[in-house]
Structure 1
């Protein structure tokens, strides 16, 4: 009975992975690197479902069943790291590559150099099983600590009531919780008597399915190329003719400068410690617009997201406009028509209808 349920869950996992893969391919525009990481993660989860079905209908095969493990771990650590830093640092890349290469080398060694029955898991190989288990535990612990550190920084950084921060904080916490339980299930499976115990594997597949659901129902602002997230600390702030992009991202996007009702070139240049000319040149070179247009464009995006949450259904348009940083209904209507089309009232009616 348990094996039949395991097969059904594996099929659902594969189907869900295909849905997420197509949805991300279509809707996730930028950043491209984060998109690739999510697609790799989705592929690894689908592969895990296929491996489970293969074992159920045929037999255990190290290459088919174990290969996605290192891919998934590398994808997970890269995902959180990129979400945190907006780039992949060398130690993250090195750690991911080391896990994948080490795993493949071990598989190849016990397949071609010292041939061992492929139906025996690496962690059960005579003389090598204890080493493999220890290596996996060390790698898994390292990955979990790194991800926990990143998430704690996200939770500490995003204490504001900004709707984007609230969404990202909750979503990231859910992902980390699932990762924790997946790690526990994998650890239990490593030390189970059966080479592929059904119960822990069923738990793992269910947790993988929940991971795909979270990826599918991720905060939609992550899909936008013009909304950047940068949680890392800032170093070497420059003055003069240089404006580091990470500094602008930190102030304008992460600190939500565009929601400030007093947002202006004067206040922004002081916070960035640059001249008005440097700021203007930077904006046109990187965003193709001036500060007013860039600010109003993101205010409109924020207004739309506020309406879509449904939490502000009892608010007046003026009240929601204030939440989005507009000083008056007039400025909201003017910017809404330019950057979205139509009127805010018509948009609200279409959402609440």
Structure 2
């Protein structure tokens, strides 16, 4: 009974991972680094699904069971580092890459150079076992640290009035829960005298299945986001002859400057320590529109997200307009027609249906 469930789950994980890969490939526009990492996650999970099917229909093989786990480990810590880390982002990603390639090198060595039966786990091979075990312990410690840091950040540093961060916080919480359960399952399996039992694969595949659902249901603003999701409270502007796009993004998007009533060209120019020509040129080069249009377009996007969230159904259009940064209902209607088409009232009714 359990074996049949495992086979169905493994196939389901493979199909879901394939769907995620295609969906991300088509619809996820930027940031490119995050897109690549999610694609690698999809590949690793699809590989795992096929690996488990091979294991139950034929036999254990290192390439089918251990390699997708190693690839998945590196992709997971890189995923959280890209979204939630700032200073430690690249060192964490580098660790993930190094861990994967060390295991990959061992696989090649004990498959082609000094052949050892592929049915024997790397951790059981003399000469490789100790290093592999150290890498596993190191990954568990690193992943645990990332989980704790991320938990602290999303519940202490996220702006409760920022709808984007609110969506990201809820989604991240569930993702972290499944990641922790995955890790607990992994650790218990490694401590077991008889690893890779049915119950291990059953729990692992269930966690993978729901993790894939969460990745498919990720906040849609991540698909084409100018937001640099940084939780660090400090921010320094580089003294350069030209405006740093990172500085602009941090103030304008991450800090939701476009929602502020005092959002003016002169005020933003002052915050960026830039000239009028520099700011105008930077905005046009990157967004092909004026400062005013950029402000209003992002306010409309925020208004649309407020309506879609379903948390503001009792708000009047006037209240939603002000929450989106507009001074009045009139300015909301004018900008909505320009950047979306139709009227806010019609849009709200269509979403409510």
TM exceeding 0.5: yes
1:182 aligns with 2:182: yes
Once the two structures are TM-superposed, the CA of residue 195 in structure 1 deviates from its matched residue by 3.9
Counterpart in the other structure of 1:338: 338
Q: For residues 176 and 263 of structure 1, what CA distance do their matches in structure 2 show?
A: 36
CA contact (8 A) 2:106 2:128 kept: no
Counterpart in the other structure of 1:51: 51
What is the CA deviation profile of residues 107-126 of structure 1, one whole-angstrom value per residue up to 9, with x for unaligned ones? 12222333322112122335
SS in 2 for 1:167: helix
Map 1:166-177 → 2, pairs under 5 A: 166-177=166-177
Q: Which stretch shifts more, 210-219 or 123-132?
A: 123-132
Counterpart in the other structure of 2:95: 95
Map 1:184-333 → 2, pairs under 5 A: 184-232=184-232, 236-239=236-239, 241-333=241-333
Counterpart in the other structure of 1:73: 73
Once the two structures are TM-superposed, the CA of residue 11 in structure 1 deviates from its matched residue by 1.4
TM superposition score normalised by structure 2 = 0.93
Structure 1 vs Structure 2 CA RMSD: 2.1
Once the two structures are TM-superposed, the CA of residue 132 in structure 1 deviates from its matched residue by 2.2
CA contact (8 A) 1:240 1:275 kept: no
5+ residue gaps in structure 1? none
Once the two structures are TM-superposed, the CA of residue 234 in structure 1 deviates from its matched residue by 5.2
Q: For residues 52 and 320 of structure 1, what CA distance do their matches in structure 2 show?
A: 50
Does the C-alpha gap of structure 1 residues 132 and 228 become closer, same or farther in structure 2, counting only changes over 3 Å? closer
Once the two structures are TM-superposed, the CA of residue 19 in structure 1 deviates from its matched residue by 1.9
Once the two structures are TM-superposed, the CA of residue 262 in structure 1 deviates from its matched residue by 2.2
TM superposition score normalised by structure 1 = 0.93
SS in 2 for 1:172: helix
Q: For residues 235 and 226 of structure 1, what CA distance do their matches in structure 2 show?
A: 17
Q: For residues 170 and 81 of structure 1, what CA distance do their matches in structure 2 show?
A: 18
Q: For residues 290 and 305 of structure 1, what CA distance do their matches in structure 2 show?
A: 23
